[in-house]
Amino acid sequence: MLWILFWPSEKLLPSSVLATILDTIVMPKLSSAVGTWEPHQETIPIHTWVHPWLPMLGHKLEGIYQTIRFKLSTVLDAWHPSDGSAYAILSPWKPVFDSDSWQQLMHRFIVPKLKAVFVSDDFQVNPASQKLDQFYWVMNWASVIPDHLMVDTMDIFFTKWLTVLYCWLCSNPNFNEVLKWFLGWKELIPKELLANELIRYKLNCGLVMMNQAAEGMEVVQPGLKEKISYYIRVSEQRKFETHQKAAAYISADGANEMSVKEIIEAYARDHGLLFKLKPGRMHNGHQIYGFGNVSIIIDSLNQKVYAQNEDRWSLETLGRLLELHNRSLSKRR
């Protein structure tokens, strides 16, 4: 490798001479090699011949990074999460790309497909016969995807997981089996995710239901309707950001606040509207949901909701979502 020849020269050559060699010989050859690089035909991982130049070229490689990201984007459109090669190619670049570029790459090309795995009917939470391949496809990315994007993805998993647990607990189960099942799932979740408060909150919701069933109490699904309904009655006219903060409630052991999605879902339910996921439909990397007759996307990170209003997407409050739904009904008459 050419970089091996230059490694000792970094201390032996005058800095001006080394800089000239790097600029006139090394950079053009690297740029040319990256320009002809085809990710889908790769036999030698690109990071093995680009990364060694990092100490000597530093920020001068930024232009090459842009080319690499563009070429990766051309093949990731056709990528499926069952193919582990994407992780092998991408993961070495996490500490190299700037955080914004990395997050954009994950948000645009990886996260939507991981969410689709959990949304798909092919992925089922089944205590009687659990298949874990698809779960592992998603968990494989936990160490490189930004926390807020991974937690948002896991929210889809926990929706299925908690529903299955609720139904199981309502059927007079063997509690030793339930506990073993719960602990088994907890062990499958990577440590970096278990360190997140929202993930721990979802697991705690399961424990609360398990305790209720074990003590002979009525099992209540997460998302106490009474608390949300009260919040909506007193806060309906406020901005959506204020809604989210006002809706926070703390359980006996200090669980985190309810998610934006849970609040919107409860609001729709309280007004007799259907809140549903629209499989396969995305906008700017966000899953599209139906709020009555209105298509919406939820930005969980920034605690905002956007609605499709004719040909544009606009930031809306809960009250406005209801207005848009009612307006759609009047247009149909």
Cα(300)–Cα(95) distance, rounded to whole angstroms? Answer: 25
Residues 6+ apart with CB under 8 A from 228: 247, 258, 262, 263, 266, 267, 270
In a 10 Å sphere around its CB, with 0-12 CB exposed, 13-18 middle and 19+ buried, how is residue 13 labelled? middle
5 vs 132, which has greater pLDDT? 132
Mean pLDDT for 158-179 is 92
193 contact partners, CB below 8 Å, separation of at least 6: 142, 150, 151, 154, 199
pLDDT at 176 over 90: yes
Provide φ and ψ at 311, rounded to 5°: -105, 15
pLDDT reported for residue 184: 96
Q: What pLDDT is recorded for position 126?
A: 93
Q: What is the pLDDT of residue 196?
A: 92
Q: What pTM value is reported for the model?
A: 0.62
Given a contact cutoff of 8 angstroms between Cβ atoms, the answer to whether 138 and 118 are in contact is yes
pLDDT given at position 247? 46
Q: State the pLDDT confidence band at 11, using cuts at 50, 70 and 90.
A: low
- Segment 310-328 shows an average pLDDT of 86
Q: Measured in Å, how far apart are the chain's first and last C-alpha atoms?
A: 73
In this structure, are residues 134 and 124 in contact, taking their beta carbons and an 8 Å threshold?
Answer: no
The residue behind tokens 């190619």 is: 89
Closest residue by Cα to residue 148 from 265, 302, 314: 302
Rg, the chain, Cα only: 25
Give the contacts of 324 (CB within 8 A, at least 6 positions apart). 294, 307, 309, 316
Q: Cα(156)–Cα(271) distance, rounded to whole angstroms? A: 23
Contacts of 201 (CB under 8 A, 6+ apart): 255, 256
Alpha carbons 145 and 108: distance in angstroms, whole number? 12
What pLDDT does 35 receive?
81
Question: How does pLDDT run across 45-104, given as a tens digit for each residue?
Answer: 888 878 888 887 878 888 888 888 998 888 898 899 999 989 999 999 999 999 899 999
Residue type, position 145, single letter: I
Rounded distance between C-alpha atoms, residue 198 and residue 255, angstroms: 8
With a cut of 90, say whether residue 107 has pLDDT above it: yes
pLDDT score for 59:
82
